[in-house]
Structure 1
Amino acid sequence: MEYTQLGSTGTRVSEICFGTWRFGMKSGDVLETDRSLAHDLLDTFWEGGGNYIDTANVYGTTSGTSEEYIGDWLTDHDREDFVIASKVYFPFDEDNPNGRGLSRTHIRNQIEGTLDRLGTDYLDVYYIHRWDENTPISETLQALNGLVEEGKVNYLGASTMAAWQLTKALWTSDVEGLERFEVTQPMYHAAYQEVDNYLDVCADQDLAVCPYSPLAGGFLTGKYERDDDGHAVGPDGSRADLVGYFQDEYVSETSWRVVDTIESIANDIDASPAQVALRYLMDIERFQCIPIVGARTVGQMKENLSATDVSLSADHRNRIAAAREGSDI
């Protein structure tokens, strides 16, 4: 595992970030990752050289479970060895009219709960989980700036918003002399096509890009077969069975072309499709890309971490790009 500067900051992080969205999450009656498995996965990530862990206050069933699992695990480790990110925006208390969004009130209330569950005095990165149309971005940034000044947060991040919103937030920070976003977290993977203007902003402003769903919810691992209607059919218990939006979000003619190409390259270089798809992102030169990987087994975690040992040629990258664009090389 190698380490890289996080955007324009002085903090160094592993090439791969561990996303803990499924910690304590129930899909129907299925508990995807219980406390014991979560700790095994964190052990494997750390032993493989990973130091960058991503969570959010609303991850898990109930909200906060993911942060609690991580906090329990951290009691046996040195907090300073890790770069930990969490998020704020979504409803945490459905009965509280101020229990959601990016108001100063909600941000102030949520940071204390997040720090308590994680058992830490500070976050390395604090993301706004979405854009809040009901709160002026200046109020949000002023509240976040206060957390940085108080030492509760080191850096700010922005997850999933339009390019104009990210630009407006950066402009507001510059004009008002406030801390600015250093890290972004859009959905992005080798078959994704909808965020180029957003990524242009990230590249221009030297922001780190830490994409979620870098394997398209597992679709790019090659474990799905195509039925006569173009839908993905996977093994029992796969994400297609557990997540209702899987087909609409991840499956398209473009994604079938890309996964076929990735599988072909994986066969050529004796790697897995997941490793090829992750390496493709890590090798992006236009902006810094640190994929956030999930894992439901220790084996999956080890496979994902081994993507750092894979090498792709320029021809491999061009083939994947051509498949994504629907063109010939």
Structure 2
Amino acid sequence: MEYVTLGNTGTTVSRLCFGTWRFAKESDGVVETDREEAHELLDAAWERGINFVDTANVYGTPHGTSEEYIGEWLEDHDREDFVLASKVYFPFDGWGDPGPNDSGLGRKHVRAQIEGTLDRLGTDYLDLYYIHRWDENTPIRETLRTLTELVREGKVHYLGASTMAAWQLTKALWTADVDGLERFEVTQPMVNAAHYDEVGDYLDVCADRDLAVCPYSPLAGGFLTGKYERAADGSVEAPDGSRGSLTERFGEYYATDTAWDVLEAVESVADEVDATPSQVSLRWLMDQDRFTCVPIVGARTVDQLDENVGAVDLSLSDEQFERIDAARNGAGGD
């Protein structure tokens, strides 16, 4: 495993982060990853050198179960060996029907949720606490002041920001600078080779301010694994049981013309380096040189995790990296 300093912080993390959004997640009444499977995956991640684990208070059915699974597993491990990240924003269903202050980034909700998260994880502090979304109804100054208090109390080490617009991230960073508050040091947008440009302005801010980027959906919902084919009419031919077979939105959202061009470039590079498209796609993200990039992988099985971890040992030449970049920019690799 390779390790890297997380942006402008003093914390070192594995080049891949293990995501746990599938832990206890129910889909059509079926739990995607149960407690035993979750603990097996955490064992495998740790054995392969992954020390960075990502969760959220609303992961699992009911909410909070993902954090509970991780907390139970940590009882048999040294907490100091791990970098734990969680999130706050959405209504938490553990309290029944949400009330008027049971969501968002106001002081009352953030204060309540950090205590629940720490309790479920069985820890006194989080290494990284993300705002899960931007809150249009709460002044960012209130949110940052509340989060700064958590840092100064030792309950949180660093702050992060998930999906939002570039101007919102800029506003938050400016407010932190002007008011002398803790700033966001890590971001978590949806970034992958096929959809990089959709958050290009956001990533420009990250590069300029030396923020680490921990992309979710680094394989474009599985599109960049190479398991999908393009039908003659332009639609997606998806294997049974895959995400693409379960929703029509998959094709509209992930399988754009640019995405197919990128996939073609990724597959050609994979053939050249004797790797899988997934590994090439993850390595392409890790090789970003404008900012520290640590992809979040959410493997369902140990075999999938092993494939993802194989990306760490992969090397891409400048020409191979640029060929994928060219496809992303519509240059078709020329």
Fold shared, TM-score > 0.5 on shorter chain: yes
* Aligned 8 A contact 1:27 1:243 in 2: no
Match of 1:38 in 2: 38
Pick from 251, 255, 277: which aligns with 2:255?
251
Identity %: 68
Match of 1:79 in 2: 79
For residue 223 of structure 2, what is the amino acid of its counterpart? F
Distance 1:105 1:242, change over 3 A: farther
- The residue correspondences of 1:1-329 to structure 2 (distance < 5 A) are 1-93=1-93, 94-192=97-195, 193-242=197-246, 245-327=249-331, 328-329=333-334
For residue 99 of structure 2, what is the amino acid of its counterpart? N
Q: TM-score, normalised by structure 2?
A: 0.96
Three-state SS of the structure 2 residue aligned to 1:195 is helix
CA distance in 2 between partners of 1:246 and 1:41 (Å) = 26
CA distance in 2 between partners of 1:200 and 1:310 (Å) = 26
* Aligned 8 A contact 1:214 1:291 in 2: yes
For residue 320 of structure 2, what is the amino acid of its counterpart? H
For residue 152 of structure 2, what is the amino acid of its counterpart? E
Three-state SS of the structure 2 residue aligned to 1:39 is helix
* Aligned 8 A contact 2:92 2:98 in 1: no
1:22-64 per-residue CA deviation (whole Å, 9 max, x = no partner) reads 1111121332111111111111111111000000000111111
- Using the TM superposition, give the Cα deviation of residue 244 of structure 1 relative to its aligned residue in structure 2, in angstroms: 5.9
* Aligned 8 A contact 2:166 2:201 in 1: yes
Three-state SS of the structure 2 residue aligned to 1:156 is strand
* Aligned 8 A contact 1:23 1:66 in 2: yes
Three-state SS of the structure 2 residue aligned to 1:97 is coil
* Aligned 8 A contact 2:23 2:35 in 1: yes
For residue 85 of structure 2, what is the amino acid of its counterpart? A
Q: TM-score, normalised by structure 1?
A: 0.97
Three-state SS of the structure 2 residue aligned to 1:194 is helix
Distance 1:70 1:149, change over 3 A: same
For residue 245 of structure 2, what is the amino acid of its counterpart? D
- Using the TM superposition, give the Cα deviation of residue 89 of structure 1 relative to its aligned residue in structure 2, in angstroms: 0.3
For residue 232 of structure 1, what is the amino acid of its counterpart? V
CA distance in 1 between partners of 2:57 and 2:147 (Å) = 16
Three-state SS of the structure 2 residue aligned to 1:4 is strand
Three-state SS of the structure 1 residue aligned to 2:44 is helix
CA distance in 2 between partners of 1:239 and 1:281 (Å) = 22
How many residues align? The count is 329
CA distance in 1 between partners of 2:151 and 2:54 (Å) = 18
Three-state SS of the structure 1 residue aligned to 2:198 is coil
Name structure 1 gaps, 5 residues minimum. Answer: none
4+ runs deviating over 4 angstroms: none
- Using the TM superposition, give the Cα deviation of residue 236 of structure 1 relative to its aligned residue in structure 2, in angstroms: 2.1
CA distance in 2 between partners of 1:203 and 1:34 (Å) = 38
1:228-254 per-residue CA deviation (whole Å, 9 max, x = no partner) reads 332323222212234564223211111
